[in-house]
């Protein structure tokens, strides 16, 4: 947000003896303002023959159409933005298997977004 700048430089290195490996690297980013930016560089270095490896990256902003759709159904803009950001973050958060930690992370996100949570995971 604001004028924040993030950097992601990730590398998957596959040694020549690491056959039958299946590796995937994904880096997804949401820019919350026009002044925010991200430099992202996912990399693969593969020295084995029998592997399945891929990488990817997305960078974008919240969709205006999605915000408009939610607002037309009575959801205020602030809450609509928070819901869309929670949906974006849920892909990573679903891997947190300890409920206390998951609840704490969700509370931190809610506080940052200025909304309250009515649920616990």
Domain ranges in the chain are 1-61, 76-115
Q: Which residue has the tokens 């950097």?
A: 7
Helix 77-93 vs helix 99-113: crossing angle, to nearest 10:
150
pLDDT of residue 47: 95
Tokens representing 33 are 């303002």
Predicted pLDDT at 118 = 64
**What is the chain's mean pLDDT, rounded?**
89
Helix and strand numbers (H, E) in the chain are: 3, 4
Of the pLDDT bands very low, low, confident and very high (cuts 50, 70, 90), residue 117 is low
User: What is the pLDDT at residue 116?
Assistant: 76
* The most confident of 17-21, 86-90, 117-121, by mean pLDDT: 17-21
Q: What share of the chain is helix, strand, coil (3-state, %, to 5)?
A: 35, 30, 35
Residue 19 pLDDT class (50, 70, 90 cuts) = very high
Q: Which residues pair with 11 in a beta bridge?
A: 43
Burial class (CB in 10 A: 0-12, 13-18, 19+), 80: buried
Q: What is the reported pTM?
A: 0.73
Cα gap 33→106, rounded to integer Å: 22
Average pLDDT over residues 67-94: 88
- The pLDDT of 8-34, averaged and rounded, is 92
In the chain, pLDDT over 70 holds for what percent of residues? 96
The yes-or-no verdict on residue 51 having pLDDT over 90 is yes
């Amino acid at each position: 947000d604001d004028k924040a700048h993030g950097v992601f430089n990730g590398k998957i290195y596959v040694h020549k003896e690491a056959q039958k490996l299946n590796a995937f690297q994904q880096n997804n980013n949401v820019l919350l303002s026009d002044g925010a930016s991200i430099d992202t560089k996912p990399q693969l270095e593969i020295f084995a023959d029998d592997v399945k490896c891929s990488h990817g990256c997305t960078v974008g902003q919240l969709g205006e159409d999605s915000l408009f759709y939610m607002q037309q159904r009575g959801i205020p803009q602030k809450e609509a933005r928070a819901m869309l950001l929670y949906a974006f973050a849920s892909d990573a958060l679903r891997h947190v298997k300890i409920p206390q930690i998951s609840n704490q992370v969700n509370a931190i996100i809610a506080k940052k977004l200025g909304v309250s949570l009515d649920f616990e995971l």
